[in-house]
Structure 1
Amino acid sequence: MKNTATLELRGISKTYGNGRQVLSDLSYTLAAGEYVAIMGDSGVGKSTLLNLIAGLDAPDTGEIWVDGIALSANDDDAATRLRRRHFGFIFQAFHVLPHLTLLQNVSLPLLLNHLPLDRAETMLTAVGLKGREQDFPRQLSGGELQRVAIARALVHRPRLILADEPTGNLDPDTAQEILQLMRAEIKANGAAGIIVTHSQAAAATADRILLLTKAGLQPLEGGSNA
């Protein structure tokens, strides 16, 4: 993949049914290999923004482009294929499938994209779950489930990684290990990554920290360029 803009937000606005506007004329460009953290007060629209980028909701105005393709130009099937192949999601609710083993859960993106399955075991090892491949989600703690969700989001080397509070259930040491893994995957695969977080320590692992306010995305100091 050439090193061009992976994500472009062009004049994005979103208002809820009760009339409360959370995003107004928001524009931003994220290039391949870039990793940013978005912070902001509760209710300002951070999770809404991730859902819009993921194509799980649609903006009232504006357009979202991924790898030069407008999301609005895709029909449902094309949008599903785009998300399946090029997106990696880490959401607070985990969405780990209870009837599948950990290995089967992490293998799903590989199966859906007709990719070799050996990387699933590698990613479980990378998130500290080696030897738990045949366990079921009911046997795991909240922090362990979060690590499964992270392994699944990264396993197929997506072009765009979207993470909503990905370390909320992890102890500080494990959180740092997971965040460094995410950063390494983004850099190694020429992906782009967005993490939404309230944690200063988590945000500090990103290249840049952005504050989401009613005025849009404003840069903050404190990111890492290591």
Structure 2
Amino acid sequence: MLEISDLYRRFNGRSVLEAISLRLEPSEYVAITGESGVGKSTLLNLIAGLDRPDRGRLALDGEDYATLGEDALTRLRRDKLGFVFQAFHILPHLTLRQNVTLPLWLKGQGGRRAERQAESLLDAVGLGDRAESWPRELSGGEMQRVAIARALVHQPRLVLADEPTGNLDPTNAARVLKLLGERIRDSGAMGILVTHSPEAAKSADRVLQLTPEGLHG
């Protein structure tokens, strides 16, 4: 379970987020929308542990990580979070199998077992026959499917997606969003999609709007 309570963040004396609260259950997938500049990226960075709130509680499975030290926070991101970005961030010098295996390597898991886990995820996103391909050989939609496989291979508790279809055509965007939602729900993870697109937001179980007054659903 993810619990966010009374979250505040200020920059240069200006309040960006005020009294943000949210609760997610396993297999739940929500979209957060809002106008540009309202603080969607700031909120995602706080949830991801990449920034710290000025006040409030961020708890994953009962552990408040808003006050964790840097080493513990790094371990939490490595072990319990999965990320899908608009720009893919697939490493060009690694094969698709190696890219998807990377989160397992970072956890100290290697060998054939880790490779089989990566291959299983590649198969789940429809790229099982491309494990030895290089990123340069893929389309944008295929790259984003690899990013989803990589985000899920280590069985994270929480998947965070930041405008994951911003660089895709409508057909590939719809395919990627459907896949992302299915994999989050089927794996029992929780998912948060941050997007400015009403169409993308419809792929989630519920849609929340971020405004200067808070988060509304």
* TM-score, with structure 2 as normaliser: 0.89
- The letter for the 1-side match of 2:41 is S
- Quote the Cα distance in structure 2 between the aligned partners of 1:149 and 1:49: 21
Q: Describe how 1:98-177 pairs up with structure 2 within 5 A.
A: 98-113=92-107, 114=109, 116-177=114-175
Give secondary structure in 1 for the equivalent of 2:53. coil
- The letter for the 2-side match of 1:63 is R
8 Å Cα contact 1:157-1:185 kept in structure 2: no
Aligned match for 1:40, one of 34, 43, 46: 34
Which runs of 5 or more structure 2 residues have no equivalent in the other structure?
A: none
Equivalent position of 1:7 in the other structure: 2
When the two structures are aligned, how many residues end up with a matched partner?
213
Which runs of 5 or more structure 1 residues have no equivalent in the other structure?
A: 1-5, 220-226
The worse-fitting range, judged by mean Cα deviation, of 80-89 and 134-143 is 134-143
The worse-fitting range, judged by mean Cα deviation, of 157-166 and 73-82 is 73-82
Deviation at 1:143, TM superposition (A): 3.8
Deviation at 1:146, TM superposition (A): 2.6
8 Å Cα contact 1:11-1:25 kept in structure 2: yes
Spell out structure 1 runs of 4+ moving beyond 4 A.
none
Deviation at 1:141, TM superposition (A): 4.3
The worse-fitting range, judged by mean Cα deviation, of 159-168 and 182-191 is 182-191
The worse-fitting range, judged by mean Cα deviation, of 48-57 and 66-75 is 66-75
Higher RCO (Cα < 8 Å, 6 or more apart)? 2
- Quote the Cα distance in structure 1 between the aligned partners of 2:125 and 2:170: 14
Deviation at 1:73, TM superposition (A): 4.0
- Quote the Cα distance in structure 2 between the aligned partners of 1:95 and 1:173: 21
- Quote the Cα distance in structure 2 between the aligned partners of 1:140 and 1:152: 15
* TM-score, with structure 1 as normaliser: 0.85
* % identical aligned pairs: 58
Q: Describe how 1:1-226 pairs up with structure 2 within 5 A.
A: 6-17=1-12, 19-113=13-107, 114=109, 116-219=114-217
